[in-house]
C-alpha cells in the first residue's frame, strides 16, 4: 500500500492506522477525526493544526543530542540554544515553545525591533536572548533596555558602525549593559537554495581586519569584558554537513585568536541555524545527508579539537536552529473541492444517429478496452481526441461531437487506470496523459509560499482511504486565480490520489512540515488569509482542541489593507438602498446577507459536502 514517503519525512510523528493518518503519540488520534470535530463545530475551509508535543520533541532532541555528545567527548563548554523568532512568530507557536523550553533555559533570537520586543515580553527569565541583523541606534537602545530589565542579552554586531553606536549609547545609559557578540565573515560557505548567509561575499559579518579593529575599539572604550560571543550562520536548510565542519574549524580558530588578543570573556561560539529538515516524499530526492546526532557530534568534536590544538578553553556552544524546531509542529488540512474530470460521465454523452467516424471508433475503444490492450487503446483515444479537436477548429464537427470525444477519452482513461490498477509500472507510464487535477480549498501562496518562491516541496498526502489503492496520478490546484497555484508532479515522482466522488464524500489532504517560515511569509494573494488554526493537546486517554483562532473576516482583511471599513460598509449600504431593482423588504434581506459575508472569511465553504 502507498505510504506517501511517511518513512522518509515523518520521523515517526505520524503513522497509518486503519487507513487513516494518526498522530503517533499517546492516544494516537486520527487527524481526520480531529478535523471532523472542528468542522462539526462550524469551522470550514483549510485548518492549520498545531501539535505542541512535537515542539517539545524537537527541543528535547536538540538538547539531548548535544548533551550526549558533550558527555561522550568529555566536553567542558556548555550548550545553549535560542529559537529564532523569524521562523514563526505566531503566538500559537511561540507561547507554547517558551513554556516547553523553560526547563532547558531555552532562549529567543530576534532580528528586528518587533521581534526583540516580543522576546523581551515572552522570554523565560534568565534564558538567553541573542539579537542579529542590521541595527540602528533605536534597536541598540532597546537592547540596553532589555539588559536593564534583567535579560541575559547579547547584541551581535554585523558591522563596525553598529559597534560605534553601542560605544556612544553606553555613555547615555544606566549601569547594566548587554553582552556583545561579533558576527564573523567566514570564507567557508554553505550550499543549498538558502545558502547566502555564509562565505566571504555574504551579506553579514566582520572580515578579519574588521575583527581586529573591533577588539581594539572595545579595548579603548573599556568594553572588552562585554565581548562574550562570536557568531556565524551558513544559511538555512544546510543539506550537506561538510561546509559546516569547515566553518566550525575556521570559527574555532578565530575564537582562540581573539582570546589571545585579550578577549578573556569571549566564551561562546554561536553557530546560527541551518539544521535541515527532511521534506522529501521521494527516496531519490532526499533533502539532507546527515542526522541530528551526527551534527551534534561533529560540532562538539571539532570545537574540542581546535581548543586542544591551541591549548585553550573549550567554548560554550550556542545554536539558533529554527526550521528544525518549528517545521513539524504544524499540519494544514484542506478538503478537495473537485476532480476536474469528474464531470465526464457516460450519462452525459450526446451520441447521434450518425456520428463522425472517429467518435464511433472512440466508442468502440471504450466498450472493448481490456487489460491487455489498455495502454494501446488509451493512446489511440488521445490521438482521436486530438484529431476531433482539429476537425472542430476547421468546422467539420460540432460542439456535441467535441463534447462526446472529450467524455469518451476521459472514460477510456479512467477504465485504463482501473484495468492497470495492479500494474504500477504501466500506470506510471501513462500518468502524464491521465493526470487528474485536484482542486483543493487552500491558497498555495498563503500556506506554502516557499513552494511558489523556491520550489521547496512539502509532503502532501490524503488523511484517509489509505487502505485503498490510489489510482489517480494527481496534480494539486489551489483556489487562487493564479496559474502558479499548482503543485505538479513528475513521471519519476508522482503523487497518486484516490478517485473519490467529492459530491458524495469529503476527501481531505494533509500538508505536512509547514510550521517553519510558511506562516509569516504567507501572502494574501486574492485576499486569502492565514487559515483558521487550532492547538491539539494529546494525552493517553484523549485529545483536546484548544486556542481556536478563526481566520480573519473579510472586513478585517480589508482593514489591514487600510481600507476604511465604515466607508466600505456605507457605500455598499447606499448602493443597495438606492437600487430600483428590489423592494424595501428585499433590500433588508440583502443587507443582512452582506453583513454575514463581510464578517466571515473568504475561503470556499459550501462546494461538496
Ligand X SMILES: *Cc1c(COP(=O)(O)O)cnc(C)c1O
Query: Applying CB under 6 A, which residues contact ligand X?
Result: 84, 86-87, 109, 132, 233, 236-237, 272-275, 320-324
Closer residue to ligand X (CB): 130 or 431? 130
- Contact by Cβ (8 Å): 420, 375: yes
**Number of other CB atoms surrounding residue 596 within 10 Å:** 9
Length of the chain: 609
- Contact by Cβ (8 Å): 180, 174: no
CA distance 255 to 226: 15
Closer residue to ligand X (CB): 192 or 356? 192
Give φ, ψ of 336 to 5 degrees: -75, 130
- Contact by Cβ (8 Å): 9, 457: no
Q: What residue has cell string 423592494?
A: 583
- Contact by Cβ (8 Å): 227, 218: yes
**Number of other CB atoms surrounding residue 497 within 10 Å:** 25
Closer residue to ligand X (CB): 152 or 237? 237
CB of 517 to ligand X, least distance (A): 7
CA distance 185 to 201: 8
CA distance 518 to 453: 11
CB of 452 to ligand X, least distance (A): 19
Closer residue to ligand X (CB): 275 or 307? 275
What would you report as the CA-atom Rg of the chain, rounded to the nearest whole angstrom?
A: 30
CA distance 266 to 225: 8
CB of 324 to ligand X, least distance (A): 6
CB of 195 to ligand X, least distance (A): 10
Nearest 5 degrees, angle CA 546-CA 548-CA 550?
175
Beta bridge partners of 473: 496
Closer residue to ligand X (CB): 377 or 517? 517
Beta-carbon contacts of residue 39 (< 8 Å; ≥ 6 apart): none
CB of 416 to ligand X, least distance (A): 45
Answer positive or negative: Cα dihedral of 323, 325, 328, 329. Answer: negative
CA distance 365 to 376: 10
CB of 146 to ligand X, least distance (A): 18
Q: Which residue is nearest to ligand X (CB)?
A: 273
- Contact by Cβ (8 Å): 522, 446: yes
The x, y and z cell numbers of residue 588, run together, are: 433588508
CA distance 420 to 414: 10
- Contact by Cβ (8 Å): 534, 38: yes
CA distance 178 to 165: 13
CB of 127 to ligand X, least distance (A): 16
Burial class of 2 by CB neighbour count within 10 A (0 to 12, 13 to 18, 19+)? middle
CB of 86 to ligand X, least distance (A): 6
Q: What is the DSSP string of 147-180?
A: HHHT-EEEEEESSHHHHHHHHHHHHHS-S---EE
CB of 186 to ligand X, least distance (A): 13
CB of 84 to ligand X, least distance (A): 4
CB of 132 to ligand X, least distance (A): 4
Which of 508, 506, 510 lies closest to 609 in space, CA to CA?
506
CB of 260 to ligand X, least distance (A): 26
Closer residue to ligand X (CB): 320 or 401? 320
Closer residue to ligand X (CB): 224 or 230? 230
CB of 207 to ligand X, least distance (A): 18
CB of 291 to ligand X, least distance (A): 16
The x, y and z cell numbers of residue 366, run together, are: 471504450
CB of 12 to ligand X, least distance (A): 21
Closer residue to ligand X (CB): 158 or 406? 158
Closer residue to ligand X (CB): 25 or 517? 517
CA distance 136 to 165: 8
Closer residue to ligand X (CB): 143 or 273? 273
Answer positive or negative: Cα dihedral of 211, 213, 216, 221. Answer: negative
CA distance 519 to 549: 14
CA distance 468 to 471: 9
The widest CA-to-CA distance across the chain, in whole angstroms, is 100
Amino acid at each position: 500500500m502507498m505510504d506517501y514517503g511517511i518513512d522518509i519525512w515523518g520521523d515517526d510523528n505520524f503513522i497509518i492506522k486503519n487507513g487513516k493518518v494518526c498522530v503517533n503519540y499517546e492516544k494516537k488520534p486520527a487527524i481526520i477525526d480531529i478535523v471532523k470535530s472542528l468542522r462539526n463545530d462550524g469551522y470550514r475551509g483549510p485548518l492549520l493544526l498545531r501539535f505542541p508535543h512535537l515542539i517539545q520533541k524537537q527541543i528535547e532532541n536538540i538538547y539531548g543530542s548535544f548533551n550526549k555528545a558533550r558527555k561522550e567527548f568529555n566536553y567542558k563548554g556548555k550548550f545553549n540554544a535560542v529559537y529564532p523568532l523569524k521562523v514563526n512568530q505566531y503566538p500559537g507557536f511561540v507561547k507554547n515553545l517558551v513554556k516547553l523550553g523553560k526547563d532547558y533555559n531555552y532562549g529567543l533570537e530576534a532580528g528586528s525591533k518587533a521581534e526583540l520586543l516580543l522576546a523581551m515580553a515572552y522570554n523565560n527569565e534568565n534564558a538567553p536572548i541573542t539579537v542579529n541583523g542590521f541595527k540602528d541606534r533605536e534597536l541598540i537602545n532597546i537592547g540596553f533596555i532589555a539588559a536593564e530589565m534583567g535579560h541575559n542579552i547579547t547584541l551581535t554586531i554585523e558591522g563596525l558602525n553598529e559597534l560605534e553606536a553601542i560605544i556612544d549609547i553606553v555613555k547615555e545609559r544606566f549601569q547594566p549593559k548587554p553582552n556583545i557578540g561579533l558576527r564573523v565573515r567566514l570564507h567557508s560557505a554553505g550550499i543549498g537554495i538558502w545558502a547566502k548567509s555564509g562565505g566571504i561575499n555574504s551579506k553579514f559579518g566582520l572580515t578579519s581586519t574588521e575583527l581586529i579593529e573591533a577588539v581594539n575599539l572595545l579595548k579603548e572604550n573599556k568594553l572588552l569584558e562585554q565581548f562574550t560571543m562570536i557568531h556565524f550562520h551558513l544559511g538555512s536548510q544546510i543539506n550537506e554537513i561538510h561546509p559546516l565542519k569547515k566553518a566550525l574549524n575556521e570559527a574555532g580558530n578565530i575564537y582562540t585568536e581573539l582570546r589571545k588578543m585579550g578577549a578573556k570573556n569571549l566564551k561562546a561560539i554561536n553557530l546560527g541555524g541551518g539544521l535541515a529538515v527532511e521534506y522529501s516524499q521521494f527516496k531519490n530526492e532526499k533533502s539532507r545527508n546527515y542526522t541530528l546526532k551526527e551534527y551534534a557530534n561533529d560540532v562538539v568534536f571539532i570545537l574540542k579539537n581546535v581548543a586542544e590544538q591551541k591549548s585553550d578553553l573549550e567554548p560554550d556552544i550556542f545554536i539558533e536552529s529554527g526550521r528544525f524546531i518549528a517545521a513539524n509542529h504544524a499540519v494544514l488540512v484542506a478538503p478537495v473541492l473537485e476532480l476536474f474530470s469528474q464531470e465526464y460521465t457516460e450519462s452525459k454523452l450526446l451520441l447521434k444517429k450518425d456520428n463522425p467516424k472517429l467518435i464511433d471508433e472512440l466508442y468502440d475503444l471504450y466498450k472493448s478496452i481490456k487489460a491487455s490492450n489498455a495502454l494501446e487503446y488509451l493512446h489511440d483515444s488521445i490521438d482521436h481526441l486530438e484529431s476531433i479537436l482539429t476537425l472542430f477548429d476547421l468546422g467539420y464537427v460540432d460542439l456535441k461531437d467535441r463534447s462526446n470525444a472529450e467524455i469518451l477519452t476521459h472514460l477510456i482513461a479512467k477504465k485504463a487506470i482501473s484495468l492497470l490498477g495492479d500494474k504500477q509500472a504501466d500506470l506510471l507510464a501513462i500518468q502524464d496523459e491521465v493526470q487528474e487535477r485536484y482542486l483543493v480549498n487552500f491558497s498555495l501562496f498563503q500556506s506554502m509560499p516557499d513552494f511558489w518562491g523556491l520550489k521547496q516541496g512539502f509532503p502532501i498526502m490524503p488523511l484517509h482511504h489509505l487502505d485503498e489503492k490510489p489510482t489517480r496520478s494527481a496534480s494539486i490546484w489551489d483556489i487562487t486565480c493564479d496559474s502558479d497555484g499548482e503543485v505538479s508532479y513528475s513521471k519519476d515522482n508522482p503523487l497518486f490520489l484516490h478517485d473519490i466522488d467529492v459530491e458524495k464524500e469529503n476527501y481531505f489532504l494533509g500538508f505536512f512540515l509547514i510550521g517553519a517560515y510558511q506562516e509569516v511569509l504567507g501572502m494574501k494573494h486574492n485576499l486569502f488569509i492565514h487559515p483558521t488554526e487550532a492547538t491539539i493537546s494529546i494525552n493517553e486517554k484523549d485529545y483536546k482542541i484548544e486556542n481556536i483562532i478563526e481566520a480573519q473576516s473579510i472586513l478585517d482583511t480589508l482593514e489591514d489593507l487600510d481600507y476604511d471599513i465604515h466607508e466600505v460598509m456605507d457605500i455598499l449600504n447606499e448602493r443597495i438602498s438606492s437600487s430600483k431593482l428590489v423592494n424595501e423588504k428585499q433590500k433588508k434581506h440583502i443587507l443582512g446577507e452582506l453583513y454575514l459575508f463581510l464578517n466571515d472569511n473568504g475561503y470556499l465553504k459550501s462546494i461538496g459536502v
